[in-house]
Structure 1
Amino acid sequence: MTAALAQLDQRYKQFARLKVGAGKSAGYRMGTSEQLAALEAAGDVVYANSRYGNTYVTDRPGLDAAFAAGVPVVHLGQVDGIRALLDGYPADWTVVLLWCPREVTAQRSERRGDADTTARLAAWDATREDLITHPGMVWDLTVDTTETSPGESARLIDQLVRRTGAARA
């Protein structure tokens, strides 16, 4: 989805969360426990969560740099994380729920060759439960990715972002 957005406008860039742990490093800013402790001490952790044996951090300095470089696209799978971002980092956020059925998540994960499909399905289950237990979350746009192509989804998101002014240069 982020790649499709970037094709529409090069200012769209995926926000690289700070990752403390091991495993896949592509798309992350790899960090240490000491860096995380320093961010926490400075009050610069907007949101952190642990999953797959790692800690993923949305941090104020990272967001500052992302906004300076363009229009950040922040991927979060937890309602608490979205609320923390909205409350903890004032900006013209556009909140989009991208959704697909669990079976489709499994098929996509297997097609990508993910070694952790079981963990990804557990994350899907946790996100679904999160959405049920936080019914008051308001989405600016909801997209069923089984019915809407990445290109069309990106076009809808871009239109919404431009309408709300979040993509100002």
Structure 2
Amino acid sequence: MILYGPPGAGKDTITSELTRIRKDFALYRRLKAGPGRTRGYRLTTTDHIEDLSRAGNLLYRNARYDAEYAIDRQGITALVDDGRIPVLHMGQVVGVDAAAAFPLRWIRVLLWCPLNVTESRSTGRKDKDVDARVKVWHETREDVLAHEAEPWTLTLRTDRLSPTESANAIIDAVATTASAEIRNVREFVG
């Protein structure tokens, strides 16, 4: 399961709802080196991320919010070997494609909310970097529009659906083995 979307689109909230409804869903905790939020990550160093990269053990790495993030093969493998469905949070389409190279049947979910919702949610959870998150919302929108031909299994507007409705739509996509297809993302993200 890959949840892609801007800050405040509900990746954490929907993942919590997925894991509440079905215990086989599990958040894949990305590696993180740097400042900022620590919940939901496996903290490490940039040297460790570089070592994993040189050894070919990373699917994707990126820098944002003055930190470096990485998706490692071993972390996904550990969840799968434990009988879990990994839920990855992504903020770049290129990262979605890189993670999807791992040999699983991935459900690709584009989560979206308007800018004012991102601002409100970020302020409401007392993020210290609201301006940076607003900037990333704009970058995410540009990223989606630059990759209009990217296939998505689902597109969900989290300002219109509750977390439970969103989680149930994702669970239905898993159960029906829904396939990814090109969608009208220009209209979807406004």
What is the DSSP-based 3-state SS (H/G/I as helix, E as strand, rest coil) of the residue aligned with 1:164?
coil
Distance 1:151 1:49 in 2: 30
After alignment, is 35-44 or 104-113 more displaced? 35-44
What residue in structure 2 maps to residue 94 of structure 1?
A: 107
* Higher strand proportion: 2
Once superposed, what is the RMSD of the aligned Cα atoms?
Answer: 1.1
Post-superposition offset of 1:22: 2.2
Q: Which stretches in structure 1 are left out of the alignment for 5+ residues?
A: none
Distance 1:13 1:86 in 2: 17
> Contact 2:46 / 2:68 at 8 angstroms: preserved in 1?
no
Post-superposition offset of 1:41: 1.4
What residue in structure 1 maps to residue 92 of structure 2?
A: 78
Give CA-to-partner distance per residue, 1:69-119, whole Å, 9 cap, x none: 3111000011000011112x1111000011000111000100111111111
- The percentage of counterpart residues that share the same residue type is 40
Out of 70, 92, 95, the residue aligned to residue 57 of structure 1 is 70
TM-score, normalised to structure 2, is 0.83
Distance 1:76 1:66 in 2: 17
Distance 1:24 1:108 in 2: 15
Distance 1:32 1:115 in 2: 22
Q: Which stretches in structure 2 are left out of the alignment for 5+ residues?
A: 1-13, 179-190
Read off the aligned partner of 1:141 and give its amino acid letter: L
Post-superposition offset of 1:66: 2.1
Distance 1:145 1:78 in 2: 18
TM-score, normalised to structure 1, is 0.93
- Runs of 4+ in structure 1 off by over 3 angstroms are none
Read off the aligned partner of 1:83 and give its amino acid letter: D
Out of 123, 146, 166, the residue aligned to residue 153 of structure 1 is 166
